[in-house]
């Protein structure tokens, strides 16, 4: 019997059907659904207490693989609080945060700690390096904390030290480095675990203009070079505009924040 595919086979609809549109769904790395966060009222003597504070009301967020998302908003709008929820550092009053197939609110404290160690790289406004330890040891710390052999952890730390342009400063105690260099070390520490998501809370907020530009450009370059997925909180609108998306946190919701002029919020 002859092979039907051997020779000039024509399919019935060939050439007559419109090609189907190709729908490419981008992978969602992190998803927040209907988030509400309320801080309880604090009782105080003679009126010094505070009423309950509702920060978010049904807040939704999707972060796609490879995106660099900026979150802006006035002081006190809740930007840091939102990042804490995304990093499983805190739990929402209502709503859910998902990272891939994991629902953060179902984590035990141990699972939350593992999630923070393996899936999230966090850069704080202040570097929080341990001043008595070398730059290399500081970078290796998250790997050592999960029980990786010291030689292997230090080798990975050396790679990331080079990536942040400090290849020759590894043996310096972190306390001997400048503010900008310390923040670069903290970026390397956040990335040494190759996390699924980089979260940065005003990573340039504590630096002068020129150093802030250098650290932001470094994060941007690493984001592109390593295909990172990043969410950055910033008051610097020029940096925000250089991200793929700008979201403004206002009155408990996220809205498109691209419409603002230059300056700070
Ligand atoms: N653990 C907490 N308990 C009670 N209130 C809190 C807590 N954490 C934050 N808040 C309050 O929530 C509000 C938002 O704080 P948050 O730090 O998230 O704002 P932000 O937008 O990051 O501000 P900034 O830009 O000044 O850093 C503030 O009024 C703050 O006092």
| 227 closest CA partner among 187, 189, 262, 198 | 198
Cα of 34 vs centre of ligand 1, distance in Å, is 19
- 73 Cβ closer than 6 Å to some ligand 1 atom: yes
In the predicted model, is pLDDT for residue 77 greater than 70? yes
- Summarize the confidence of residues 42-54 as an average pLDDT: 79
Q: For residue 56, what are the CA distances in angstroms to 32, 82, 249?
A: 12, 9, 9
- 236 Cβ closer than 6 Å to some ligand 1 atom: no
- Summarize the confidence of residues 235-254 as an average pLDDT: 94
Dihedral angle over CA of 86, 88, 94, 97, nearest 10: 50
- 77 Cβ closer than 6 Å to some ligand 1 atom: yes
* Most ligand 1 atoms within 8 A of CB, residue of 37, 44, 55, 74 to mutate: 55
Would 2 be classed as within a structural domain?
no
The one-character DSSP state at 165 is: T
Contact 178, 159 (CB under 8 A): no
- 125 Cβ closer than 6 Å to some ligand 1 atom: no
Rounded to two decimals, what is the model's pTM?
0.87
Would 17 be classed as within a structural domain?
no
**Sorting pLDDT into bands at 50, 70 and 90, what band is 22?**
low
Which residue has its alpha carbon closest to ligand 1 atom 11? Answer: 76
Q: Following DSSP, what letter does each residue of 129-143 receive, concatenated?
A: --TTSBHHHHHHHHH
Would 265 be classed as within a structural domain?
no
- Summarize the confidence of residues 126-142 as an average pLDDT: 94
User: 3-state DSSP call for residue 3?
Assistant: coil
CA distance 256 to 248: 6
pLDDT digits (tens, 9 = 90+) for 158-181: 999 999 999 999 999 999 999 999
Q: Is ipTM > 0.95 here?
A: yes
In the predicted model, is pLDDT for residue 9 greater than 90? no
**What pLDDT sits at residue 65?**
95
Provide the number of structural domains found in the chain.
1
Domain that holds residue 215: 28-43+51-256
Would 63 be classed as within a structural domain?
yes
**Sorting pLDDT into bands at 50, 70 and 90, what band is 229?**
very high
Cα of 148 vs centre of ligand 1, distance in Å, is 35
Would 10 be classed as within a structural domain?
no
**What pLDDT sits at residue 7?**
46
**What pLDDT sits at residue 263?**
47
Please report, rounded to a whole number, the percentage of residues in the chain having pLDDT higher than 90.
Answer: 77
- Summarize the confidence of residues 233-240 as an average pLDDT: 95
Q: Following DSSP, what letter does each residue of 72-115 receive, concatenated?
A: E--TTSSHHHHHHHHTTSS--SEEEEEETTEEGGG--HHHHHHH
Residues 6+ apart with CB under 8 A from 41: 49, 50, 51, 52
Cα of 138 vs centre of ligand 1, distance in Å, is 28
Would 12 be classed as within a structural domain?
no
- 250 Cβ closer than 6 Å to some ligand 1 atom: no
In the predicted model, is pLDDT for residue 13 greater than 70? no
User: How many residues make up the chain in this entry?
Assistant: 265
- 75 Cβ closer than 6 Å to some ligand 1 atom: yes
Would 13 be classed as within a structural domain?
no
CA distance 100 to 84: 17
Contact 250, 50 (CB under 8 A): no
**What pLDDT sits at residue 41?**
85
**Residue 249 alpha carbon, nearest atom of ligand 1:** 21
**What pLDDT sits at residue 5?**
43
CA distance 18 to 52: 58
- 34 Cβ closer than 6 Å to some ligand 1 atom: no
Which secondary-structure segment (H or E) carries 191? helix 179-191
| 199 closest CA partner among 5, 32, 69, 107 | 69
b/e per residue, 217-233, with b = 16+ CB within 10 A? ebbbebbeeeebbbbbb
Contact 192, 143 (CB under 8 A): yes
Is the model more confident about 12 or about 124?
Answer: 124
* Most ligand 1 atoms within 8 A of CB, residue of 35, 50, 78 to mutate: 78
**Sorting pLDDT into bands at 50, 70 and 90, what band is 45?**
confident
Report CA torsion sign: 123, 129, 133, 135.
Answer: positive
| 230 closest CA partner among 262, 264, 190 | 190
- The CATH code of the domain that includes 161 is 3.40.50.300
Would 211 be classed as within a structural domain?
yes
């Amino acid at each position: 019997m002859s092979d039907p595919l051997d020779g000039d086979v024509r399919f019935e609809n060939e050439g007559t059907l419109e090609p189907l549109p190709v729908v490419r769904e981008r992978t969602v790395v992190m998803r927040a659904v209907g988030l509400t966060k309320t801080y309880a009222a604090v009782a105080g003597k003679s009126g010094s207490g505070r009423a309950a504070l509702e920060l978010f009301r049904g807040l939704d967020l999707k972060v796609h693989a490879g995106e660099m998302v900026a979150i802006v908003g006035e002081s006190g709008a809740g930007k840091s609080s939102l990042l804490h929820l995304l990093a499983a550092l805190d739990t929402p009053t209502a709503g859910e945060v998902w990272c891939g197939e994991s629902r953060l609110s179902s984590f035990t404290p141990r699972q939350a700690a593992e999630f923070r160690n393996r899936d999230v790289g966090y850069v704080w406004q202040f570097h929080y390096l341990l001043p008595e330890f070398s730059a290399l040891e500081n970078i290796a710390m998250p790997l050592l904390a999960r029980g990786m052999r010291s030689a292997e952890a230090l080798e990975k730390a050396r790679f990331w030290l080079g990536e942040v342009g400090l290849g020759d400063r590894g043996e310096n105690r972190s306390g001997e480095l400048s503010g900008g260099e310390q923040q670069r070390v903290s970026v390397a520490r956040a990335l040494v675990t190759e996390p699924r998501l980089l979260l940065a809370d005003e990573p340039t907020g504590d630096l002068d203009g020129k150093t802030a530009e250098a650290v932001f450009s470094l994060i941007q370059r690493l984001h592109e070079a390593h295909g990172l997925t990043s969410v950055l909180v910033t008051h610097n609108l020029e940096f925000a505009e250089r991200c793929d998306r700008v979201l403004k946190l206002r009155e408990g919701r996220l809205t498109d924040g691209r419409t603002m002029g230059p300056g700070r919020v």
